[in-house]
Amino acid sequence: MDLHHQHLIGDCLIHIFTFLPEEDLISASCVCKDWNEAAETPWLWRRMCLQSWGFCNLAVLGSEHGNHSWKRYYLRRCRLEMKMTEGRSGGYTCKSLRGHTGKVVGLVYLQGNSAQHPDIWSSCATVCSASTDGTVRAWDIQNGELLWCSPVQSPLTVIVSDEKQDVVITADSTGLIKTWQGQTGQELASFTTASPHCTILQYNINNNWFLTVGTSQGSVCTLADPALTQKSSTMVCDTFKVNTLLVSPDKKWITAGTKDNDDLSPKVIYTESLTSPSEDEDPLCQSVPVSGCQAAVFIPTQPARLAIIHHNQRPNNKALTVFDVSIKKTKYKSEIQVQQVESFPLTLNTSSSHILLEAKDSNCLVLAAGQELWVYSLKGALLASFKDHTMPISSISVDRFRVVTASQDLSLRVLTWRNDRDQRLTLESRYHLLGGSHTMSRGFTHVACDYSSIVASAEGIDGKDVLKAYSFTS
């Protein structure tokens, strides 16, 4: 080799090093000065980051973190994911968050470590919880500290959040909707629905803030901006409680329905007709051609692909049907088209009517009922099934990296996604996180996750629920 062209030697080494895994690349960097310089090339580590995750938080490599590099990012994130995959003692901390004097009805991340763009250098997270004690509480889960508590009101029934606007939204047992400023807990606005049970859905369209509320009388009401200005109201399932309320990834469609009547079909509504209603026209709405709605989810990577679990023709049998929703516009009118894509029967081996359904990417559906968990493809192929819990699953959380199930057996089960030998996505069961003693608690009721933490609510024997926060650090 021509020693007068050292850059050629370096380029050849860098090319060769692209074939090395992380461990071998680190070993190669210790051989000599030339190999070290080649192995430390930022391009190599950037390439490994993008090959491993396809998305990286580039902001953490900016001026604020000037000492960080692609290599440090790769190694730190690998260590974090290893800890989250193994769940070994010492790989995480667990904090008990006490303060509620009633049952926790929901918990949400107000500020979390995004799974799409995780900040692995500093992973502070804030979780808000709502309770039948009539309060909203915000927690610093890493330090186990209460940040603020709202004034007491009627028992709360539901909570959602908007991380972009830093707003928390709650509904209480009188149908009073309130918005809260996330940093301070200051009440921003309120709106009365006169419904003892509400389902609430928050979404943003072109930087415009909307809240759609399903009531126990069967209507859907849409409010605009955190000041809660009413835009529209329409009936979707007369006299039955709206307890299914979803928005499509492209924000063009709202799905509303009830689980309380097996004969009523869920409906899809054109979002624009709710957020910008016409005075002389009813909202554009179409029934989905299935009987009942046990569970539903929009596929997150598709514009408007909807999966619904519903009753089959035979008693106690259920089916899962996938639809594509679109709009057909002509010169004189617009029509909603709901086209079936796939349909297959489900054998859930359980009599439980409490069915949980979530979606992963474009071709994975995660179902939970009773003590069991299943993963199906959209074509009905059973990809995996698990029965890790000894009591029914009460809540699930699904993201790009893992699935976490919460159970009445007072444990969380952590499962991670991986590709099998045929490069098909499947789920692998990993470990349990225990929530304490059954002498103090009846089991977990809710679970939520961000990229580096898991928070769940444990139902207290004394009526005072406790939050358990598990934080993983790199």
- Which parts of 336-412 fold into alpha helices (H)? none
Tell me how far apart the alpha carbons of residues 339 and 335 are, in angstroms, rounded to a whole number: 12
Residue 145 bridge partners (DSSP) = 140
Separation CA 309–CA 407 (nearest Å): 21
Using DSSP's 3-state secondary structure scheme, residue 50 falls into helix
Report the DSSP beta bridge partners of residue 200.
213
CB atoms within 10 A of CB 337: 12
Crossing angle of helices 42-53 and 70-86, in 10° steps, is 30
Name all domains of the chain by residue range, CATH numbers in brackets.
6-84 (1.20.1280.50)
109: three-class secondary structure by DSSP: strand
Determine the Cα–Cα distance for residues 444 and 3; give it in Å rounded to an integer: 67
Sheet holding 364-369, edge to edge: 355-360, 364-369, 372-376, 382-386
H or E, element range at 74: helix 70-86
pLDDT of residue 62: 52
For the chain, percent helix, then strand, then coil, each to nearest 5?
Answer: 15, 45, 40
Task: Report CA-CA distances (Å) from 437 to 6, 303, 463.
Answer: 65, 44, 15
| CB distance 427 to 415 below 8 Å | yes
Instruction: Please state, in angstroms and rounded to a whole number, the distance separating the CA atoms of residues 246 and 288.
Output: 14
Tell me how far apart the alpha carbons of residues 295 and 362 are, in angstroms, rounded to a whole number.
18
Task: Tell me how far CA of residue 237 lies from CA of 212, 266, 454, in angstroms.
Answer: 15, 8, 36
At position 322, the amino acid (one-letter code) is: V
Amino acid 63: pLDDT: 44
The continuous run of DSSP H or E covering 307 comes out as: strand 305-311
Q: Distance (Å, rounded) from C-alpha 441 to C-alpha 459?
A: 5
- What's the one-letter identity of residue 1? M
Closest residue by Cα to residue 282 from 212, 336, 334, 234: 234
First-last CA distance in the chain: 42
Element of type H or E holding 441: strand 441-449
pLDDT computed for residue 1 by the predictor:
45
**Does residue 370 contact residue 393 with C-beta atoms inside 8 Å?**
yes
CB 256 within 8 A of CB 269: yes
416-424 long-range Cβ contacts below 8 angstroms, 24+ apart? 416/84, 416/85, 417/360, 424/383
What is the C-alpha separation between 368 and 376, in angstroms, rounded? Answer: 11
What local confidence, expressed as pLDDT, does residue 412 receive?
A: 95
Indicate the angle between helix axes 42-53 and 6-17, nearest 10 degrees: 20
pLDDT in tens, the chain (474 residues): 444 445 556 677 667 666 767 677 667 767 777 677 677 777 777 888 887 777 676 666 654 455 668 888 888 888 888 898 998 888 899 999 999 999 999 999 998 777 667 777 777 889 999 999 999 999 999 899 999 999 999 999 999 999 788 899 999 999 999 999 999 999 999 999 989 999 999 999 998 999 999 999 999 999 999 889 999 999 998 889 999 999 999 999 999 999 988 889 999 999 999 999 888 788 899 999 998 899 999 999 999 999 999 988 765 688 999 999 999 888 778 889 999 999 999 877 666 678 999 999 888 999 999 999 999 999 999 999 999 999 999 999 999 889 999 999 999 999 999 877 666 778 899 999 988 887 888 999 999 999 899 999 999 999 999 999 999 887
Q: CB of 358 within 8 A of CB of 366? A: yes
Q: What's the rounded Cα separation, in Å, for the pair 102 and 459?
A: 9
Q: Whole-prediction pTM value?
A: 0.88
The tokens describing 442, both together, are 């009846």
15, with CB counted inside 10 A (0-12, 13-18, 19+), is exposed
Residue 128 pairs with which residues in a beta bridge? 108, 138
| Nearest partner of 427 among 357, 389, 374, 378, judged by Cα | 374
pLDDT the model gives residue 457: 96
